[in-house]
Structure 1
Amino acid sequence: MATGEAFSAEQLERLNRALDQAQKHSGIPFTVRVGALRGDVRLAAERILSTLVDNPDRDPAVLIVVSPGQCFVHVATTPAARKRVSNPAAGLAALTMTSSFSLGDLVGGLLTGLRQLGEAAGPAAAAVGTRSSTTDSHATHH
């Protein structure tokens, strides 16, 4: 998919289905943002992530930021989510996504990355002491 080209309705449906499945499996809300970021892209990802939850220490959330034009992929997790999605697991998912992106498969890479991250977090029932969030997962393209 070319930079700046919008996702098709079918692609958005597939992405939203994958987001829902990852959240239902893990109990952690996942969000995907595709588009250019201004300034330090890692700081921008952390700022976006901080707007997704009320209390990052208590509320788990995972954000996947992809900026094709800047050749950037970042998986950001709140401290609460980091207890279940380790940095190595997030790095492996980012590497897998990057491999798909390099072949021109943006949606396929995101779908695989979401599946990996959801599985890394484990089942929601196994997450003793975590509370379920009502944050809606959604894919966006900017």
Structure 2
Amino acid sequence: MATGEAFSPEQLERLDRALEQAEKHSGIPFTLRVGAVRGDIRLAAERTLSTLVGDPARDPAVLIVVSPGQRVVRISTTPAARKRISNTASSLASLAMTSSFSLGDLVGGLTSGIRQLAEAAGPAATTPAALRPSAPTAAPAGSPAPH
């Protein structure tokens, strides 16, 4: 790994695969942010989460923020996702992640936590396409791309 790079290409592939599988299983977009956070992590996570969806009340989304240097993990969900992922499930996923982190396994902890959250959400609804609300086709300008 080159100096300044947080993850190797193989690790990034593992993380991308975990995020894709979580979304495929649950139908909920998962986004991961790893790095230092300025200010209040809760507010920063909520601000970022609000840019990922068109309507947080209607659109489910999960944001996992990890700042290894600050020893902080924050799992934020939109109200729509919160209906399927309880605070208890989020706390258990956070505990599993931090346990792995303490053993030096950042990628393993992240993939495990993502998998736990997707399992807690349960399988994606199988609503016929004609009855599903249409999703926005593009993120607002300046928004971070999901995962």
Q: Give TM-score, length-normalised by structure 2.
A: 0.85
Query: Which has the higher Rg, Structure 1 or Structure 2?
Result: 2
Distance 2:72 2:44 in 1: 12
**Corresponding residue of 1:53:** 53
Distance 1:28 1:130 in 2: 14
The structure-2 alpha-carbon separation of the partners of 1:29 and 1:131, relative to structure 1 and needing over 3 Å to count, comes to: farther
Which string of whole-angstrom CA distances, capped at 9 and with x for unpartnered residues, describes residues 63-110 of structure 1?
Answer: 000001111001000000000001100010001000000111000000
Task: Give yes or no for the alignment of 1:35 onto 2:35.
Answer: yes
Distance 1:57 1:19 in 2: 22
Task: Give yes or no for the alignment of 1:112 onto 2:139.
Answer: no
Whether the aligned pair in 2 keeps the contact of 1:45 and 1:65 (CA below 8 Å) is yes
Query: How far 1:130 moved relative to its partner?
Result: 7.5
Distance 2:88 2:120 in 1: 10
Whether the aligned pair in 2 keeps the contact of 1:16 and 1:137 (CA below 8 Å) is no
Q: Secondary structure at the match of 1:124?
A: coil
Give, as a single letter, the amino acid of the residue that structure 2 aligns with 1:94.
Answer: S
Aligned residues: 136
Query: How far 1:125 moved relative to its partner?
Result: 2.4
Which string of whole-angstrom CA distances, capped at 9 and with x for unpartnered residues, describes residues 29-55 of structure 1?
Answer: 000000011111111111111110011
The structure-2 alpha-carbon separation of the partners of 1:68 and 1:89, relative to structure 1 and needing over 3 Å to count, comes to: same
Give, as a single letter, the amino acid of the residue that structure 2 aligns with 1:70.
Answer: Q
Distance 1:110 1:18 in 2: 9
Distance 1:108 1:61 in 2: 22
CA RMSD of the aligned region, Å?
2.3
Q: Secondary structure at the match of 1:6?
A: coil
Please list every run of 5 or more consecutive structure 2 residues that lacks an aligned counterpart in the other structure.
140-144
Q: Give TM-score, length-normalised by structure 1.
A: 0.87
Q: Structure 1 residue runs of 4+, over 2 Å off?
A: 129-137
Distance 1:88 1:60 in 2: 18
**Corresponding residue of 1:7:** 7
Whose RCO is larger (CA < 8 A, sep 6+)?
A: 1
Please list every run of 5 or more consecutive structure 1 residues that lacks an aligned counterpart in the other structure.
none
The structure-2 alpha-carbon separation of the partners of 1:76 and 1:24, relative to structure 1 and needing over 3 Å to count, comes to: same
